[in-house]
Amino acid sequence: MNEEKIGQQISLLESNFINEYATLELLNGQYILQMSNCKFREIQGDYNDGNHEFVAIVIHGWKSRNYNRIRETFQDAFSSANIDTYYYTLPHHMGRQESSSFYSGELMISANVERTLYSVYQALVEINALINSLSELYPNSKICLIGISLGGLLANLCVTKNKNIHKLISICPVNNLSYEVWNSKAFLEIKSELQQHNITYEQLNKHWDVINPCNYIPVIATENILLINSLYDLFVPIEDANDLLLAWSNPKRILYKSGHSALELKKKTIRNDVMNFLTFV
């Protein structure tokens, strides 16, 4: 690993990325996110007429190929509650997947430690630009950030910096990425490649420590945070999820007796829990 480059990336991640803004333009029913530091980014969404108490931004998980499962879970409930919803696509996923990669998200989380950090930083800049732009587009609405799995990691990092977020809902979120890579079955290939290059867990943990939400404190009220974890999650071990709960002074948490596929197996339960939390003032 290039120590100088890693140091530069850490400086970037610790910079004031929350001040980024973007232009949102509606083109043929599709919002386009334009920023000074990136190309046009399509933002999928479900929009409703009238006044909106809440506007939701949803961030998907690693390897996601579309938003179908997430829309099946939330779209009808959000529409009934008149919640406009914006679906942010992570770097190297879906329509942003490079033709050279074998699957959606391959180039975002990998044994390339430097590229992983850059990808996370890029996502943080873009998500915060979207949050800030929507807070201006909907001045009388509350921004709710919903992150799922890897998207939960990004959402959790955003809520430690951006006061324009009113509520955070983090569903089976990745926490300490280096811990997950070293201990989760989902990352066996990445761990093996790291070991082939003589990278130890201690080294990886040191370099990715800057993207561990446990190192930061949320800037929104604790009662506006909902963490949803699964007791038998093989992707995000419960001991790592517990670390975030303690680091953040025990915000509201719902613990399912299920695995990481809770969004697939417990759609109705998650939908009801999310809506109850959103509508509880």
pLDDT at residue 211, rounded to an integer:
93
| Residues 3-60: tens digit of each pLDDT | 444 444 444 444 445 555 555 555 555 555 555 544 445 566 666 666 678 899 999 9
Residue 155 has pLDDT above 80, yes or no: yes
| Residues 85-128: tens digit of each pLDDT | 889 989 888 888 888 888 887 889 999 999 999 899 888 988 98
| Per-domain boundaries in the chain | 3-279
pLDDT at residue 94, rounded to an integer:
81
Residue 229 has pLDDT above 80, yes or no: yes
Q: What's the rounded mean pLDDT across residues 208-213?
A: 93
Residue 65 has pLDDT above 90, yes or no: no
Q: What's the rounded mean pLDDT across residues 222-233?
A: 95
Fold of 3-279: Rossmann fold (3.40.50)
pLDDT at residue 13, rounded to an integer:
47
Residue 205 has pLDDT above 80, yes or no: yes
Average pLDDT, the chain: 84
What 236-242 contacts at long range (C-beta under 8 Å, 24+ apart), as own/partner pairs, is 236/149, 236/172, 236/173, 236/174, 236/175, 236/180, 236/184, 236/260, 237/179, 237/180, 237/183, 237/184, 240/175, 240/176, 240/179, 240/180, 240/183, 241/173, 241/175
Q: What's the rounded mean pLDDT across residues 164-171?
A: 97
Residue 215 has pLDDT above 90, yes or no: yes
- The pTM of the full predicted model, rounded to 2 decimals, is 0.86
| Residues 251-277: tens digit of each pLDDT | 999 999 988 887 778 889 999 999 999
pLDDT at residue 107, rounded to an integer:
86
